[in-house]
Structure 1
Amino acid sequence: MTRTQEAQPDLFLAVIGDAPFRDGLDLMAIPVVSLAKGRRVEPIRFTRGESSVEVSAPPHIGIATIWDFDFVLYAVSQLNAAVNRGETPPSTINAPAHDILRAVRRDVGGKDYQRMREALDRLKATTIRTTIRANGKRGETFSLIERVTWAEDAFGKPLGVSITLPDWLYRAVIDHRVLSLDSRYFDLSGGLARWLYRVSRKQAGDRPDGWRWTLADLHQRSGVTRPLKSFAFDLRKLIEANPLPEYWLTAYADDVGTECVHVTRRSKLAADHPGHETPLKSRRLDPAL
């Protein structure tokens, strides 16, 4: 067995079987990844009040995509499962590449391992500069993945991979600043649908009245390069299809005619509503936002 990089000395072994998926609370409603499948080289910038986010990556690699982010979700979820067992895990997890791909509902052919490598490279190369959680007083800079170490056989086939989370995200797990994700999230094929589910999960949560945004606000939060008109067209189609797990989308105009979106937890809808969904199991209360 050979390793492409020096081994990380303090490893957390991923559990066998599926750990419930979790997402970092502070990353769910801000643009930290590209929603397009093609390479994005233009930085993502988002400002709200005194808080700001800037995301960049070397042009030859490109900014990590929302599909790449699945591997961050896997690492967060494994560490969170350990925390829930009363452990204090290190920031590095170690798991067979096959298990990670299966967990995030990917195939396990040769091309899939190569795509996984490329995704982890983009996550490692993507740099986030943010003042979120700092009240605008100080900033932090980190990559979505701090370090990646591969184990290969003599023929170069990936056997295992170690993923180290950045301290900013690792602290979020230790401090319980994570939210559960419905596993059906991985069935969403579109970047906009995946992003809107994460935003809805964070903002609407379990609130009886859900959450509301203007289309212009969602456009800004998404970080997409498409003009508002094109974004609004895609969003209307998404609302018509209503594919998000757990949440129901409704388009409406406010008192001054501004186009808006209302998202409601499906379990909060009337029992005879076409979007109503009975939760499969009761959840613990979401942390205070």
Structure 2
Amino acid sequence: MSDVAEQRNYNLRDEIKTYWSERAATFDLSPGHEIFSEEERAAWHRLIRHHLGESEGRMALDLASGTGVVSHLLDDLGFRVTGLDWAEPMLERARNKARDRRRKISFRMGDAENTMEPDEHYDAVVTRHLVWTLVNPTAAFAEWLRVLKPGGRLLIVDGDFVNTNALERLFSKLSGWGQRAGLLKADIPSGSREMMETHRSILSRVHFSQGARAEEVAELLHKAGFVDVEIDTDLDEIHRTQAKNWNVFKALARKSQHRYAIRARKPSS
């Protein structure tokens, strides 16, 4: 195949897959990705129980499961979990983590926008920090509705990582100044400068390039056929447990962001 043909066939979705494959090596080092305390784990458990109820051995699909952080939270609570991701390096780490912890979680290669999973197979579908990366959320939400059993629930945890308010900008500047001066705890690097540029480029071209606002996501879920769509912006307990891993201004900047959980249900009939 010629270089021109290869470039033509390498599309945005391929770029996203490659980016997250490269991020796999350092993914679990970042607060907000891996769980760094039992307090944080308990806070996530309470959020999941609040929106999905008790597990009772129900089947859950963790979409864009990465290194399996959310899959393990669901497994903690007694769900029978399948994790789906399209980045093999992420899956490799997820499988190793599950083996080391002696967890019976199935991790499979798959596309969150076209899962190839059976119709009406899962009691719950869960995503964290996936929606903002979607190229075609309309198709993705229809797919998630398809794989849910009647009455099954969807839980999305995400945020607007594009738009910033005045407080976030102020706190970010103070955090950066304090780190450069050696007065504040430094951020854990999320990748090279080149990877940061790639991230910005991808973000400018996905569907939610102007920011994944909760209200817009909820409206698209309604149009896809979900009912009882509820936006939950009270993630303070999780934030407080994560904030211990950042300097004070970094934590305040994070708290100022538009982050949310959205619960929705597939109609029972």
TM range, normalised to the smaller chain?
under 0.3
Greater helix fraction, Structure 1 or Structure 2: 2
TM-score by length of 1: 0.23
Greater strand fraction, Structure 1 or Structure 2: 1
TM-score by length of 2: 0.25
